[in-house]
């Protein structure tokens, strides 16, 4: 069963995501969704955007790693987190080119850290990220594909 769908980013998609994110609070509102303009910018600048059941993920590629940013709006994504990550890798293997996959999660977001662990990611350390100009302590989780 296909769990992800690769998307073309356009204004309709931005409007749909903004409708979900604009009323959310917490880290959504200071991360990708602190303004519709910022949401548009990060999605249009992403190397790939996918839809998953109850959410979206966007990927930014760097020289030696790929960073995944997940927006989840329901619990079903948690149930298949590992399968979603593996399918994302299989479907987009060409863009990952054996890069390590990373997810940077604000330290206070316990649910997303559990999601990363369910997906088979490992805690690698901490960093600080600016979200809306505010330095936030974050945890770094990584994953390397094995037999995917």
Q: By three-state DSSP, how is residue 5 classified?
A: strand
Closest-CA residue to 42 (of 65, 68, 23, 64): 68
Q: How far apart are CA 119 and CA 10, in angstroms?
A: 28
Q: How far apart are CA 18 and CA 4, in angstroms?
A: 20
Query: Which residues are CB-contacts of 100 (< 8 A; sequence separation ≥ 6)?
Result: 64, 65, 66, 142, 143, 144
Q: Which of 6-20, 68-82, 123-137 has the lowest mean pLDDT?
A: 68-82
Q: By three-state DSSP, how is residue 11 classified?
A: helix
- Quick check: 145 pLDDT over 70? yes
Q: How far apart are CA 11 and CA 19, in angstroms?
A: 12
For each of the domains in the chain, give its residue range(s) and CATH number, in order of start.
Answer: 4-143 (3.40.630.30)
Q: What is the model's pTM?
A: 0.83
Q: How far apart are CA 87 and CA 110, in angstroms?
A: 24
pLDDT in tens, 36-59: 888 899 999 999 999 987 888 899
Q: How far apart are CA 92 and CA 80, in angstroms?
A: 18
């Amino acid at each position: 069963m296909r769990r992800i769908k690769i998307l073309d980013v356009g204004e309709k998609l931005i409007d749909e995501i903004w409708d979900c994110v604009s009323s959310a609070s917490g880290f959504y509102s200071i991360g990708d969704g602190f303004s519709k303009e910022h949401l548009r910018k990060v999605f249009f600048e992403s190397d790939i955007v996918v839809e998953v059941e109850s959410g979206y993920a966007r990927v930014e590629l760097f020289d030696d790693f790929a960073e995944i940013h997940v927006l989840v709006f329901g619990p079903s994504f948690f149930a298949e987190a590992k399968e979603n990550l593996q399918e994302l890798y299989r479907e987009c293997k060409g863009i990952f080119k054996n890069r390590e996959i990373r997810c940077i999660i604000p330290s206070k977001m316990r649910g997303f850290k559990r999601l990363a662990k369910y997906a088979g990611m490992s805690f690698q350390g901490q960093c600080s990220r600016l979200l809306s100009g505010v330095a936030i302590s974050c945890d770094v989780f990584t994953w390397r594909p094995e037999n995917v």
